[in-house]
């Protein structure tokens, strides 16, 4: 359970901090505010997971100890979330790949047989719904925008595509979590995720 | 203390909490927002629980000097930076009225929703220039559908979204195409 919690905590913390790097550097004021608000949600979610992990440990370590005082090798996050921001299109593509997984993952986690984990998921999925809305709309806008924006979002997906597989490949402790009923069966959410991808692709090609 | 003259009740505690406002939206109290879920009063072996819904047990008496007060609050958003401030304001408000043993705790379940904001509070939001949530919060519907938002200033429905996130995570930025004023919209959540 501790490893599983740290995976969720590290994913949300690292992506939150990556997005926070945009603070004051966004291409527009509204986009800047959106990315820092996304960051705030993610850091808030990571706190819930770290607090739970710290409580489970019962060794006197706090959420901050777990978030900031572990060695880099102990972090469980997927490689996608730690990829550098790059340009705005690169950040949008990274967030879309993560959000479109995160949304379905949390929907499934709402059914966790662990009450505290389910409560965090129910809370988080409301926020992540808006994250997915935001990144989806920007993928479409950049793809349908100018030649330059289209090229940039395409380059970003070409660059990041390789990292998406890790999201659906369970680590041993994720399989254990799914079998014990407090985690998520990644194979089951894979098909629901695919249908969202194809719906979006159709929207894009329909507009061309 | 003049507790012999005026018996303090759980209802008085709720009235004190009614004076604490949301730091981000100062026209709404934390009770308007549904942030306070429950008050628990412990006096020796006696535990009195008063739920926000229906304001139960408001007639029970409380001795400020000997009662341990636990106030349970729920965050609107997980990363809401106002939660610490709200907890501090609750403690200060109760402390200035003679309570000495006060704890504020966070609960996540049931998850906060804009559905809890009553019509009276929605009207306060409109008067303050924020468009209240337009419909019930349902995740599937929120994902890819857009709502028609009414301008809080001129009541026109001829409005457009400028940004999914406004001044805080809970709001989106809209513009009225009739009176041309930009305004915040409190998103369904």
Q: Mind telling me how many Å the CA of B115 is from chain A's nearest CA?
A: 13
Per-residue pLDDT tens digits of chain B, which is 189 residues long:
444 556 889 999 999 999 999 998 999 999 999 999 999 999 989 999 999 998 888 999 999 889 999 999 999 999 888 899 999 999 999 999 999 999 999 999 999 999 999 999 999 999 999 999 987 777 666 777 778 899 999 999 999 999 989 888 889 999 999 999 999 999 988
Chain A residues in contact with B136 (beta carbon < 8 A): none
Is residue B163 helix, strand or coil?
Answer: strand
Q: Is residue B74 a part of any domain in this protein?
A: yes
Same domain, B170 and B135: yes
How many CA atoms, within 13 angstroms, populate the side-chain half-sphere of residue A98? 27
Cα separation, B75 vs B180, in Å, equals: 33
User: Is A133 close to B144, i.e. CB distance below 8 A?
Assistant: yes
Same domain, B89 and B141: no
DSSP assignment letter at A116: H
Same domain, B94 and B130: no
Task: Give the model's pLDDT for residue A196.
Answer: 65
Is residue A29 helix, strand or coil?
Answer: helix
Domain end residue (candidates: B106, B133, B153): B106
Of A41, A47, A123, the CB nearest to B169: A41
Could you give the ipTM of this predicted complex?
0.88
CA A65: distance to chain centroid? Answer: 22
Same domain, B142 and B75: no
Cα separation, B53 vs B46, in Å, equals: 22
Q: Tell whether B162 lies on the interface with A, counting CB pairs under 8 A.
A: yes
Same domain, B18 and B57: yes
Angle between helices A2-20 and A172-180 (to 10 degrees): 120
What is the total count of domains within chain B? 2
CATH of the domain at B16: 3.30.300.130
Cα separation, B31 vs A78, in Å, equals: 40
Same domain, B121 and B94: no
Domain end residue (candidates: B106, B124, B153): B106
Same domain, B181 and B93: no
Cα separation, A54 vs A63, in Å, equals: 6
Task: Give the model's pLDDT for residue B7.
Answer: 81
Query: Residues with Cβ < 8 Å from B173, sequence gap 6 or more?
Result: A30, B161, B162, B163, B165, B166, B167, B182, B183, B184, B185
Cα separation, B125 vs B145, in Å, equals: 23
Q: Mind telling me how many Å the CA of B177 is from chain A's nearest CA?
A: 19
Q: Is residue B153 a part of any domain in this protein?
A: yes
In the block, tokens 């934390």 appear at: B30
Give the domain ranges of chain A: 2-207
User: Is A119 close to B189, i.e. CB distance below 8 A?
Assistant: no
Q: What is the CATH number of domain A2-207?
A: 1.20.1260.10
Same domain, B101 and B130: no
Q: Is residue B46 a part of any domain in this protein?
A: yes
Same domain, B88 and B175: no
Task: Give the model's pLDDT for residue B169.
Answer: 87
Q: Mind telling me how many Å the CA of B105 is from chain A's nearest CA?
A: 14
Q: Is residue B3 a part of any domain in this protein?
A: no
Q: Mind telling me how many Å the CA of B166 is from chain A's nearest CA?
A: 7
Cα separation, B26 vs B17, in Å, equals: 14
Q: pLDDT, tens digit, for every residue of A9-21?
A: 999 999 999 999 9
Q: Is residue B5 a part of any domain in this protein?
A: no
Same domain, B96 and B180: no
Q: Mind telling me how many Å the CA of A13 is from chain B's nearest CA?
A: 11
Cα separation, A168 vs A186, in Å, equals: 6
* Cβ neighbour number for residue A28 with a 10 Å cutoff: 10
Domain end residue (candidates: B59, B76, B106): B106
**Low pLDDT (below 70) residues in chain A:** 194-208
User: Is B169 close to A37, i.e. CB distance below 8 A?
Assistant: yes
Q: Which two tokens stand for residue A5?
A: 């919690």
Domain with B73, as residue range(s), is: 10-106
Q: Which two tokens stand for residue A114?
A: 């662990």
In the block, tokens 């401030």 appear at: B85
Is the Cα dihedral B24, B28, B29, B33 positive or negative? negative
Instruction: Identify whether the C-beta of residue B183 lies closer than 8 Å to the C-beta of residue B152.
Output: yes
Interface test with B, best of A44, A112, A203 (most B CBs within 10 A): A44
Compare all CA atoms of chain A with the CA of B144 and give the residue at the minimum distance: A133
Compare all CA atoms of chain B with the CA of A100 and give the residue at the minimum distance: B143
Instruction: Identify whether the C-beta of residue A81 lies closer than 8 Å to the C-beta of residue A11.
Output: yes
pTM: 0.91
Compare all CA atoms of chain A with the CA of B169 and give the residue at the minimum distance: A37
Same domain, B102 and B121: no
Same domain, B18 and B93: yes
Q: Per 3-state DSSP, what percentage of chain A is helix, strand, and coil (rounded to 5)?
A: 80, 0, 20
Instruction: Identify whether the C-beta of residue A110 lies closer than 8 Å to the C-beta of residue A45.
Output: no
Cα separation, B31 vs B22, in Å, equals: 9
Instruction: Identify whether the C-beta of residue B65 lies closer than 8 Å to the C-beta of residue B33.
Output: no
């Amino acid at each position: 359970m501790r490893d599983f919690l740290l995976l969720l905590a590290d994913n949300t913390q690292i992506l939150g901090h990556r997005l926070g790097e945009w603070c004051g550097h966004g291409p527009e004021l509204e986009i800047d505010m959106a990315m820092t608000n996304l960051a705030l949600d993610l850091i808030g979610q990571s706190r819930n997971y770290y607090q739970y992990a710290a409580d489970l440990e019962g060794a006197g370590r706090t959420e901050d100890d777990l978030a900031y005082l572990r060695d880099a090798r102990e972090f469980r996050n997927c490689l996608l979330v730690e990829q550098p921001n790059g340009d705005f299109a690169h950040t949008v593509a990274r967030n879309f790949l993560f959000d479109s997984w995160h949304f379905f993952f949390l929907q499934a986690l709402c059914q966790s047989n662990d009450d505290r984990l389910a409560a965090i998921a129910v809370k988080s999925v409301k926020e992540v719904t808006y994250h997915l809305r935001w990144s989806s709309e920007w993928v479409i806008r950049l793809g349908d925008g100018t030649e330059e924006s289209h090229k940039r979002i395409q380059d970003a997906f070409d660059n990041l595509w390789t990292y998406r597989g890790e999201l659906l490949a369970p680590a041993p402790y994720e399989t254990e979590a799914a079998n014990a009923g407090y985690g998520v069966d990644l194979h089951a959410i894979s098909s629901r995720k695919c249908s969202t991808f194809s719906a979006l692709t159709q929207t894009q090609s329909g507009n061309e | 203390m003049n507790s012999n003259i005026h018996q303090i009740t759980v209802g008085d505690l709720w009235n004190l909490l009614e004076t604490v406002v949301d730091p981000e939206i100062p026209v709404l109290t934390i009770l308007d927002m549904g942030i306070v879920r429950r008050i628990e009063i412990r006096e020796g072996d006696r535990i009195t629980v008063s739920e926000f819904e229906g304001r139960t047990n408001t007639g029970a008496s409380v001795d400020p000097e000997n009662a341990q007060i636990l106030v349970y609050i729920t965050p609107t958003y997980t990363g809401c930076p106002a939660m610490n401030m709200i907890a501090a304001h609750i403690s200060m408000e109760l402390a200035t009225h003679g309570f000495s043993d006060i704890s504020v705790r966070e609960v996540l379940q049931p998850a906060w929703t804009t559905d809890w904001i009553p019509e009276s509070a929605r009207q306060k939001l409109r008067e303050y220039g924020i468009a209240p949530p337009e419909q019930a919060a349902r995740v599937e519907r929120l994902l890819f559908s857009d709502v028609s938002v009414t301008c809080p200033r001129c009541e026109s429905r001829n409005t457009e979204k400028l940004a999914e996130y406004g001044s805080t995570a809970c709001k989106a930025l809209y513009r009225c195409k009739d009176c041309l004023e930009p305004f915040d919209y409190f998103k369904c959540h």
